[in-house]
Structure 1
Amino acid sequence: MAWVVLVISGLLETAWAAALHASQGFTRLWPTVAFGAALTLSMAGLAYALRTIPLGTGYAVWVSIGVVGTALVGMFFLGEGFSPLKGLCLVLIVAGVVGLKVLH
């Protein structure tokens, strides 16, 4: 169960990052509310998961889901552009985290 919560929390990290961008520096109400809700739920889920998952592994998984998800949102929805080298970098992030999990 902790791993499911951790993955959902990582996805919520992507959500709060996207909402932070959409809030335009906290000048738009509903994106700011979405940011606060997603941030709170993401942190609460991380805290719950870290009860049973080691800190280094859990945090790395949480952050990598957020990093990769946020980068993909930027590339495919916010016009930041995709290139094979950017894709390779994201694959390397995932590979590193999978390595941490396997070596756990």
Structure 2
Amino acid sequence: MAWLVLVISGMLEAVWATALGKSEGFSKLAPSIVFVVSLLASMAGLAWAMRTLPVGTSYAVWVGIGATLTVAYAMATGSEAISVIKVLLLLGLIGCIIGLKLAH
């Protein structure tokens, strides 16, 4: 169960990171609210998962999922350029996240 919560928390990290960018320095209300709510949920899930999973592994998986999804969303929406090297590096990051799960 902790792994599922950790993955969902990592996904929420991508939500709050994207909302932070769209809030334009907290000058837009809706993205600012999405940022705060998803940040709190993401941190709560990470903290809960860390009760049973190692801190280093939990944090690395959480950040890796969040970073991967944030960049993938930016590329999918056209706000960040797509390149072969970026896609390969993201796939490598996903491979490392899977590796951490398998090594646990």
TM-score (norm 2): 0.94
- Show the 5 A alignment for 1:1-104: 1-104=1-104
Structure 1: 4+ residue segments shifted above 6 A: none
Sequence identity percentage: 50
SS at match of 2:24: coil
Structure 2: 5+ residue stretches without partners: none
Q: Measure how far apart 1:57 and its partner are.
A: 1.1
Number of aligned residue pairs: give it.
Answer: 104
Distance in 2 separating the partners of 1:97 and 1:34: 26
Distance in 2 separating the partners of 1:24 and 1:86: 25
Q: RMSD of the TM alignment (CA)?
A: 1.0
Residues 10-47 of structure 1: per-residue CA shift (max 9 Å, x gap):
01000001110110110001110110000000000000
Q: Measure how far apart 1:80 and its partner are.
A: 0.9
Distance in 1 separating the partners of 2:52 and 2:43: 15
Q: Which amino acid aligns with 1:25?
A: G
Distance in 1 separating the partners of 2:84 and 2:78: 18
- Quick one: structure 1 residues 17 and 92, their matched pair in 2 at CA, closer, same or farther if it must change by over 3 Å? same
Q: Measure how far apart 1:79 and its partner are.
A: 2.5
